[in-house]
Amino acid sequence: MTKILSLQNIQKAYKTKAETLNVLKGIDLDINQSEVVGVIGASGSGKSTLLHVAGLLDMADSGNVCINGQKVEFKSNDQVTKLRGQNIGFIYQFHHLLGEFTAIENVAMPAMIAGKSRTEALEKAEPLLKQFDIYKRKDHYPSQMSGGEQQRLAIARAFMNDPSIIIADEPTGNLDESLAYEVFAYLLNTAKLKKTACLIATHDMQLVKKMTVVYNLEKGKLSKVTVK
């Protein structure tokens, strides 16, 4: 199988005046194409830190991050930004949509940032809006859409540049239970269709049951768990 993401002996600590907090203590993790990997753990266990390192939003103190077999060198911010934009899509608990842009413009934005023309980006965004059943809302602004529609829009945006992996931090955490499962199904179905790997942090054990493999993050270490 094609290895999309590899974390090798990742160490990460935060220093305060009072102490040094070792959040990640030698994390090893491989994610292959089409795999949906879940990370669970108590609040404050470091799940978001792990996702930020994996998504190249934060740099580990030591260890290696490899994307599609390429070791990431953090010597150039521009290079890291380009690598992140080409390979990784992000979904957050709170959608971070741009309120002054329409639904289709929000989805098209990553492609325009990557250099595509507005016309080309908007054309590419249309199938994603249809995939997430929000095409009829394409000219509406986020404030005119429901919470579930906004989160589907945010997920569609994450797929815009055909990333190798989607990294999602509590992607349904701000939705009620029934809506969360509906939105999560859109995410999984699109990932399966596009053969996109996923790394998802969640506290929802019902969602975890739908993932390929699940790890628990505790005391800075990952351990594989069986979810029944």
Question: What is the pLDDT of the chain when averaged over all its residues?
Answer: 88
Rounded Cα distance, 88 and 104, in Å = 20
Contact 188, 171 (CB under 8 A): no
Average pLDDT (42-63) is 90
Phi, psi (5° rounding) for residue 183?
-65, -40
Q: Which pLDDT value is given to residue 3?
A: 87
Q: What is the pLDDT of residue 148?
A: 83
The residue-averaged pLDDT of 40-50 equals 87
CA distance 150 to 120: 23
- In percent, the amount of the chain with pLDDT more than 70 equals 99
Question: According to the model, what pLDDT value does residue 184 have?
Answer: 85
> Averaged over 81-90, what is the pLDDT?
87
Residue 73 has pLDDT above 90, yes or no: no
Q: What is the pLDDT of residue 1?
A: 65
**Token pair for 23:** 């959040």
Contact in structure between 222 and 8 (CB atoms under 8 Å) = no
pLDDT of residue 8: 94
Extract the tokens encoding 15. 């220093």
User: What are the tokens at 7?
Assistant: 């974390």
Q: Which residue has the higher pLDDT, 69 or 123?
A: 123
Beta strands in 96-196 (DSSP E): 165-169
Inform me whether the pLDDT recorded for 213 exceeds 80: yes
Residue 79 CB-half CA count within 13 A = 8
Give mean pLDDT, residues 204-212: 85
Q: How confident is the model at residue 204 (pLDDT cuts 50, 70, 90)?
A: confident
pLDDT of residue 19 exceeding 70: yes
Mean pLDDT for the stretch of residues 57-65: 91
Greater confidence (175 vs 185) lies with 185
- Give the number of other Cβ atoms within 10 Å of residue 48's Cβ: 18
Is the confidence at residue 205, as pLDDT, over 70? yes
Whether the pLDDT of residue 127 is over 70: the answer is: yes
